Amino acid sequence: MFIAHLPAGYLLTRFLQRKLKTTKYLWIGLLASILPDFDLPYFYLIDHRQTLHHEYWIHLPIFWLSVSFLAVLIFFFTKNRRFLLISTIFLANIFLHLILDTFVAGILWLYPFSHVSLRLFTVPARYPFWGENFAFHWTFLVEIAIILWAFIVLIKSWRRKGESKS
Ligand SMILES: [Zn+2]
């Protein structure tokens, strides 16, 4: 997934807010929805594209599973509801990012047991620029659908806010 991470994160966070009965922490969900791609500057500028960017620790499910385990432990001992809300919204969005990247990009779900990058669909290399290969593939329509869906939810929530003010 390339451009739909943020709108997908918005949709998931709004859903979680409803379930968890809170109106807070939207920005935490949005940040987490794109956080794994913070390895991109490193990929281009420092590593000079030596390692596939989805193989950095920030894109590894095993890393985030360990963080989740730690979060569960912390909650178990502290019983802090605020911590529970923040970590649930944060980690759910991280895993959403990894699931969406599994669509065509590929994620090392079985690492460290296997180095196989798992993906649902392979985008054939038809054009010289990789971006074109993805933009002209049918899976890109899914990204556009997510963006439109998020846009509709956003407009609806603005309207509701406007109505409650007037
Ligand atoms: Zn990613």
Residue-range domain boundaries for the chain: 5-165
pLDDT above 70 for 44? no
Q: Report the separation in Å between the CA atom of 49 and the middle of ligand 1, taken as the mean of its atom positions.
A: 15
CA dist., res. 96 & res. 110, Å (int): 17
Question: What's residue 135's pLDDT?
Answer: 81
pLDDT above 70 for 122? yes
Question: Mean of the pLDDT values across residues 15-42?
Answer: 92
Q: Report the separation in Å between the CA atom of 58 and the middle of ligand 1, taken as the mean of its atom positions.
A: 9
Q: Report the separation in Å between the CA atom of 70 and the middle of ligand 1, taken as the mean of its atom positions.
A: 23
Q: Report the separation in Å between the CA atom of 124 and the middle of ligand 1, taken as the mean of its atom positions.
A: 19
Asked if 59 and 98 touch (Cβ cutoff 8 Å), the reply is yes
Q: Report the separation in Å between the CA atom of 77 and the middle of ligand 1, taken as the mean of its atom positions.
A: 32
- pTM of structure: 0.88
Question: Mean of the pLDDT values across residues 26-50?
Answer: 82
Q: Report the separation in Å between the CA atom of 37 and the middle of ligand 1, taken as the mean of its atom positions.
A: 5
